[in-house]
Amino acid sequence: MIEFTLWDIVRNLALAARWTVVLSLIAFVGGGLVGLLLLVLRLSGRAPVNRVIGAYVQLFQGTPLLMQLFLLYFGIALFGIDTSAWMAAGVALTLYASAYLAEIWRGCVEAIPRGQWEASKSLALSFGQQLRHIILPQALRIAVPPTVGFLVQVIKGTALASVIGFVELTKAGGMIANVTYEPLLVYGCVALMYFVLCFPVSLYARTLERKLHVGHR
Amino acid sequence: MLIELDFWPVLAQWPLLLRGAGWTLVLTAIAALLGMTLGIACAWSRVNGPRVLRWGAGAYVELIRNTPFIVQLFFIFFGLPAAGIKLSPFTASVLAMVVNLGAYAAEIIRAGIEATPRGQFEAAQSLALSRMQTFLHVVLPPALKKVWPALVSQITIVMLGSAVCGQISTEELSYAANLIQSRNFRAFEAYILGTLMYLVLAIAVRRLLNWAGPRFVFGR
């Protein structure tokens, strides 16, 4: 029988944590792009489009991420496409992140006074120019802290990809716990590693928030 | 190639789905009650408690908020037996949900408490209320009222998160969907129905709590 030292456990978990980071980045960047598209569609505002996007957001915020993962894992296969855990997890987390980010950013855009829209319109700026030069730069300033905060939620969300067989930190933890018979130690290490990944991001989000509100105090 | 969808084999198993939804609600109800109590206790500790307690509650909140729920659940269900604490899947699920909600609720309620105007404390003091009385009767109700929407969201999030509890064979809704698809291989249909039921549950729970809050939790 092979003996596992603490170092073996930690090293293998750290190797698996890479995939947690990669998946988080894919979901965050992909979700950001799709979310931005949804935001622009929503702002250019025809009622039916708004309703569809509203339903999309409600659907992803009102159902468990785990079920979304299952649905995509089995759903993509129905179209005759060979699904891997990689693809299902990547797509599901991207869609999930896009719904949340679109909603967060919409709030930020709505926080910009209406006068800014009207003033820029009276300067004969087109919709695209209004967004690009007037609204988004101001909204961006408010949007950064909650967006960074949401990254923590994405990192934690990737843990669910373990359920459909994606070998990231949680799944690796389960496998290592099974061979070492030390579940307490292994899951403790897994939790600590997530903490090490998430806590700095949380702190950074909080710092940004404090900086943003410094003028309002 | 597109496979035709057939919902009948799944719908035929409706008692399983309903029972699953019932257990999801039971889990959520217990977790909401105990989790909010824990959250209030932690929020009190972080604001008024002695330094050790303040630090402990802070560490607990940060530790839980920065780790995934599924890892907390696995730690409790697979990890704790190694330390001699053996829990049934249901107990482990409830415990994980309570611990998880408690941390988030603590942070939300603390924000409400810190928004209490100073004059309220002074008024309570001048009426010779003890610190505990001041907290329970003067500070807490308006604080809960202020943050109730955030608490409702958090309880809904914990309910949706409970889908993970099926992974340790707690027989809630996602477990039912899993069981059905393993019987008739209609995986996509089973998960669609399961997901829609979660959506309905989420909307219903949100409505119920928004209705119940002003009536039972913080007065008018």
Q: Which residues of A touch B65 (CB under 8 A)?
A: 152, 202
Nearest-CA distance from B152 to chain A in Å?
A: 13
Q: From residue A133, give the alpha-carbon distance in Å to each of A126, A137, A146.
A: 10, 7, 22
Write the CATH number for A99.
1.10.3720.10
Quick one: pLDDT at residue B70?
A: 97
pLDDT band at A45 (very low <50, low <70, confident <90, very high): confident
**For residue B30, pLDDT beyond 70:** yes
Determine, for residues B163 and A68 on separate chains, whether the beta-carbon distance falls below 8 Å: no
Asked if A43 contacts A107 with a C-beta cutoff of 8 angstroms, the reply is: no
B interface with A, Cβ–Cβ < 8 A, is: 1-3, 62-63, 65-72, 74-75, 78-83, 156, 160-164, 167, 174, 177, 181, 187-188, 191-192, 194-195, 198-199, 202-203
**For residue B220, pLDDT beyond 70:** no
Measure CB to CB from residue A187 to each of B3, B71, B162 and give the nearest one: B71
Q: Which of A23, A63, A93 to mutate: most B Cβ within 10 Å?
A: A63
Q: Which residue has the higher pLDDT, B76 or A75?
A: B76
What count of CB pairs under 8 Å joins A to B? 124
Convert the pLDDT of each residue in A96-141 to its tens digit: 999 999 999 999 999 999 999 999 999 999 999 999 999 999 999 9
pLDDT-above-70 percentage for chain B: 98
Q: Residue A18: give the domain boundaries.
A: 6-216
Tokens for B38, please give them: 């824990």
The verdict on residue A127 lying in a domain is yes
Quick one: pLDDT at residue B214?
A: 87
Quick one: pLDDT at residue B3?
A: 65
Query: Which residues, 6+ apart, have CB-to-CB distance to A56 below 8 Å?
Result: A38, A99
Measure CB to CB from residue A63 to each of B62, B162, B199 and give the nearest one: B199
The verdict on residue A1 lying in a domain is no
Determine, for residues A74 and B67 on separate chains, whether the beta-carbon distance falls below 8 Å: no
Quick one: pLDDT at residue B80?
A: 94
**For residue B49, pLDDT beyond 70:** yes
Q: Which residues of A touch B75 (CB under 8 A)?
A: 184, 187-188, 190-191
Convert the pLDDT of each residue in B150-183 to its tens digit: 999 999 999 999 999 999 999 999 999 999 988 8
Mean pLDDT of chain B: 92
Q: Which residue has the higher pLDDT, B51 or B1?
A: B51
The verdict on residue A138 lying in a domain is yes
Minimum Cα–Cα distance from B85: chain A residue: A184
The verdict on residue A52 lying in a domain is yes
Tokens for B81, please give them: 């037996």
Tokens for B51, please give them: 């330094």
- Domain count for chain A, please give it: 1
Question: Homologous superfamily of B13-217 in CATH?
Answer: MetI-like (1.10.3720.10)
Determine, for residues B187 and A184 on separate chains, whether the beta-carbon distance falls below 8 Å: no
Convert the pLDDT of each residue in A160-184 to its tens digit: 999 999 999 999 999 999 999 899 9
Nearest-CA distance from B48 to chain A in Å?
A: 22
Minimum Cα–Cα distance from B164: chain A residue: A66
Quick one: pLDDT at residue B92?
A: 97
- Say if the ipTM goes beyond 0.95: no
**For residue B145, pLDDT beyond 90:** yes
DSSP state of B217: I
